[in-house]
Amino acid sequence: MNEIDVLQDVFGPDEAPPVRAHDRARAALLDRLSGPSPAARRRPRWALRITAAVATAAAASVGVVAVENLNTAAPSTTGRKTETPGVASRPLLPQLPYAKPAAAAEVLENAAFTVALKPWVKPRPDQFAYIERTQTFNDAKLDGQAPNAALVKGKTHETRFESWVRIDGGVHAERIDGGKVKVADNAQFSTQSYDELAGLTSPEKIDQYLATPHRSGWADPGMMILQEVLPPDVEAAVFRWYARKPGVKIDTNAVNLDGRPAVAVTLNVDGWSRDEFLFEPKTYQLIGVRSVVVKNHNNEALDGTLRYKKGDVLNLEIRNRAGIVDKLGDTP
């Protein structure tokens, strides 16, 4: 006994189909042999709705991937597609202007390109610009010695500063090393017009700004980036402004910053020291700045003669995070 016999024993023999069913089946078979009819080729409306829903979901997932790539993934330095077994390949986003920058101007253009990808909404006057930065100092015992100039390797500590500045300039506050938020007396601060800074969207406008006497303006665009929360197009303009300055170079040697590699763009200051902008080598986001002695130098000071040696680090400042927040004490 086979499976068909068992089924027949259990369910009994099937009734013969009616003549009309036989005719419909025969017509369908002939139609199938001759090709699908126009009606058969038309897809039912519910199938189109399902397809549209699937396409919408797929588009949403692609959008999420793109946003994650812009915010967290390293930009492509080759423009090639990734080849992962079992995973559909797709190009990495975004592709930097210079895959392997060989000059300071190219590094700075990569940095301008990266910063321009940041999302931005113009802040309200009652919101706050928040910045968290870390600055390196000599330990207390060394700080008490005179003269005191360069940072001493292995005998330093980091201090974490958080600041809140209301967009209208009416409130300034600070927190040090996670302590209490302290509102400062506004008389201690010179308030810079936020709208004025937000208008510096090109190197030419920055030149005009620096050439105009300001009671409270920034003389150093680099420090303006570190200590202000600026629109992305203004940060990009600052990088492009530095790219035009004579003597700007790229440091081809690896620069280690807290165990992280960095790319350095250097700018001569006074013949014996230079400032370095430190960028993350994959995304070209600004990590921080430091000042380095490039030539032995002695400098008279009130507490004695400061003797600088080539290679001394005079300042190291890292910008950890920044953003616009709603209330004093909030963080991004």
pLDDT tens digits, residue range 35-75? 444 433 333 333 323 233 333 333 333 333 322 233 333 33
Q: Which of 288, 203, 274, 202 is closest to 245 using CA atoms? A: 203
Burial 263-298 (b: 16+ CB within 10 A, else e): bbbbbeeeeebbbbbbbbbebbebbbbbbbbbeebe
189 band by pLDDT with thresholds 50, 70 and 90: low
Q: Are 292 and 310 in contact (CB under 8 A)?
A: no
Cα–Cα dist 119/115, whole Å:
9
Residue 144: per-residue pLDDT: 64
Q: Tokens at residue 291, please? A: 């000042």
- DSSP codes joined into one string, 67-85: HHHHHTSPPBSS-PBP-BT
State the DSSP H helix or E strand holding residue 235, giving kind and residue range, or none if neither.
Answer: helix 232-243
- Is 80 exceeded by the pLDDT of residue 225? yes
Q: Between these two residues, 15 and 300, which has the higher pLDDT value?
A: 300
Cα–Cα dist 202/234, whole Å:
7
Cα–Cα dist 134/204, whole Å:
31
- Burial of residue 83 (CB within 10 Å: 0-12, 13-18, 19+) is exposed
Measured at the alpha carbon of residue 115, what is the angle toward residues 110 and 117, in degrees to the nearest 5? 105
- DSSP codes joined into one string, 89-106: --B-SPBPS-SS--SHHH
Q: Are 264 and 250 in contact (CB under 8 A)?
A: yes
**Is residue 325 helix, strand or coil?**
strand
Count the helix, strand and coil residues of the chain and give each as a percent rounded to the nearest 5: 35, 25, 40
All residues at 6 or more sequence positions from 101 whose CB lies less than 8 Å from its CB, including other chains: 107, 109, 110, 250, 263
User: Which residue is listed with tokens 């920055």?
Assistant: 206
**Stated pTM of the model:** 0.68
Q: What percent of the chain has pLDDT over 70?
A: 64
Q: Are 237 and 230 in contact (CB under 8 A)?
A: no
Q: Tokens at residue 175, please? A: 């927190």
Q: What is the pLDDT of residues 15-39, one digit of tens each?
A: 555 555 555 655 554 454 444 444 3
261 band by pLDDT with thresholds 50, 70 and 90: confident
Q: Are 172 and 129 in contact (CB under 8 A)?
A: no
Respond yes or no on whether the N-terminal peptide bond of residue 147 is cis (omega within 30° of 0): yes
Burial 108-125 (b: 16+ CB within 10 A, else e): bbbbbbbbbeeeeeebee
Cα–Cα dist 174/162, whole Å:
6
| Strand spans (E) along the chain | 128-138, 156-166, 172-176, 182-183, 249-257, 260-268, 273-279, 286-293, 297-301, 304-308, 313-325
Q: What is the pLDDT of residues 123-168, one digit of tens each?
A: 999 999 999 999 999 888 887 665 567 888 888 999 999 999 999 9
| Cβ atoms within 10 Å of 218's Cβ, excluding its own | 18
